[in-house]
Structure 1
Amino acid sequence: MIKTPKLVMIPGPTPVVRSIQDQMARETVAFGDAGFVADFKEVVADLKSMWRCDGEAFVIAGSGTLAMEMAVANVTKRGDSVLICSHGFFGDRFIDMCKNKGLDVDTLKAEWGTVYTPEQMDAALSAKKYAAVTVTHVDTSTGVVVPLKAICDMMKKKHPDVMLIVDAVAAAAGAESWMDWGIDVLLTCSQKAFGVAPGLAILWASKQAVEKRRSLGTIPESYADFERWIPIMNDPSKYWGTPPVNMIWALKESVRIIKEEGLDERYARHIRQAGYFVAGMEALGFRTAASKELRAPTLTIFFYPEGSGLEDAAFRAKLAEEGVQSAGCLAGFAGKGFRLGHMGNIDKHILVGAMAAVERACLKCGYKIEPGKGLGALQAGLAKE
């Protein structure tokens, strides 16, 4: 029997296309190699210009979690007050990070599946002097996207001196964001919408954020310190920590793919294709955790149809057998549905294959659907592309 290869459809890592894989498989060179230095410098310059950053861009070995800590470390000092705005599990992760740094933490939380408003943020920020506020653009535990542009507009108008930190781990290169909206620190990692394997922390800092870091003097952090990395980002021939040579080549290829598609089209494609896939799943009786206006373009949480008899662990195991690796839900959503990523370099073939696998898994788990109904709805959308 031929073994069915699995499509990685979790909220990250995401599928890595062959041209990116090829860069990871190149013969590694010295990090001081002139060709590599030029490639690294080009990647950093592209990231700065593409995201319209007037400050600095950073690409370092690490995870999205490191990028989160790096963001907080460089714009706050012990005793500062920070407002953490959270609509899910990953927004909450900022709480311990900030408390461990000795920050005074307040939270603005939204019920899972919903989001706080810019007006609620304004009210919270007006009640106290804050050094920074954190926002999670897309939280993969809820599948909700925040109204980032409206939040940025409010912050520029009402609270321009408060550092705006945006966790875009599950959003950057898949959901629209630009540094010149008024974001001070934007952070992500390589394995989500950039479509590269795990291993890189990616971060943008505005000119205002860079100046804030310099005003702090010496900070306790070392590896996460902007001041340690800025000289290397500006001249990669210098040394602070060994750069992950092959991963940076892989990111360079990812950036080339993104530039070829264009960021505006990439954002639009994510929205369109997410909508097509949701339509197919709804045709099968599934519903989404987030309402239509709050659905993230990079992943979706699908709740099992009432009366379907589908049991979470058994369904996801069968779905994996049929060729799609999905993710379970977290906390209060656990067991009610599953999380499916559709970000990065996922194409029509992958989406069609994923929907077909969902249909087969439903049938094999005893949920009586009309075969091809979900595929038909998905294909009707994809045919417009």
Structure 2
Amino acid sequence: MADDTKQQEDDQKLRQAVYTVKGGWSPSVDFEGKHYSVGTPALAEVDGTLYLAHRSSRRGDHTTSPVVWTSCTPTSSHPQELQWRENDYAGLESAETPALVNDNGTLRMVCTDLHPPVLADALQETHLPDGANGTRPRWARSTVIKRASFQSRQHPIAPGMAFFKGELNLFYIDRAPNGGVRHLVRDAQGTWNPAAGTDDGRISRSGSGSGSPVIRSEDDHLILTRWGWPGNFVTAVHDGKLHLFTGRSLAGNLLHMVYDGTTWNAGAVPRNFDKAAGQESEIVTRRSTGLASFAGKLHAVYPTEKSHKLVHSTWTEATGWTDPVPTGHDSSHAPALLPYKYGPAGKEQEALLLVHRGIERYEPKNWHVYNG
């Protein structure tokens, strides 16, 4: 095998590191086995078990890739000793990083299904039932997400989810004309409805709708519809509010929105890592970010705008965002972040898990179709 080919395979392998308040960031460790990924992974925790889902490989010019998943239950007193199972196929494909969430005790996943222009794009949802007689569970058959009512045809991409104030929340970009950012909630019957504080599910576009403008200009909307989004929405519940992040593609900065359960407002964004110019800039990253609430702070980890270095910034309402600092890890994709507990029962401690892949070495022809 040529050295360059081997390097490409190594870059596609998933790696993990952990952060603790006392020790900072650990060195990264490769996942054992064939844990290869084409982009950003997704993490969630249910009943003490950690779950990871990602796209395993590209297939030529196909717009979708198989989704694989794995899991582990931390038992060691050392936070980085996580024994992940071998990957297994989830039984569906996605054009983007899947969205993964703990839906009040049920692991739920949403994937993006992109079709040619003559057909409708769609988001597919599935959940993971309990395994029978201790066997490894299988994902349920996926179904197309349907709203209670449609006022127009939609072209959804870049999904993200969060369980907030007793409801499962779904966010996505609608690439259709007058689309923008959509916010739906799932009821007990599995129907998705427009969330409170939105205009038919739309989170304010160019000043319309409720709350502060999210898509602030027609230039933003052009970037959104023509080139897509550089990463899925990521969420974190922090201090009783829902924080929603994504990248803004060619604009090179992050979009931060805050939801209190009824109203959306714009949030502050992390600072630029590169201060060589001597002035502050919103140009932060060409990707999205990993996001999590941990140890009383909101944490963001993302690749810098001019390099592949992953940097780490924290936020509190009182102090705002800290200056980004290097994590010691490299990736041109946004990582996944997840707070978790480790150690024996009764003596659990908390850490922040970071999962990422290496530096991207493959540029698809239709790069705007993919994100993450």
TM-score normalised to structure 2 length: 0.23
Q: Which protein has the bigger strand share?
A: 2
Q: Which protein has the bigger helix share?
A: 1
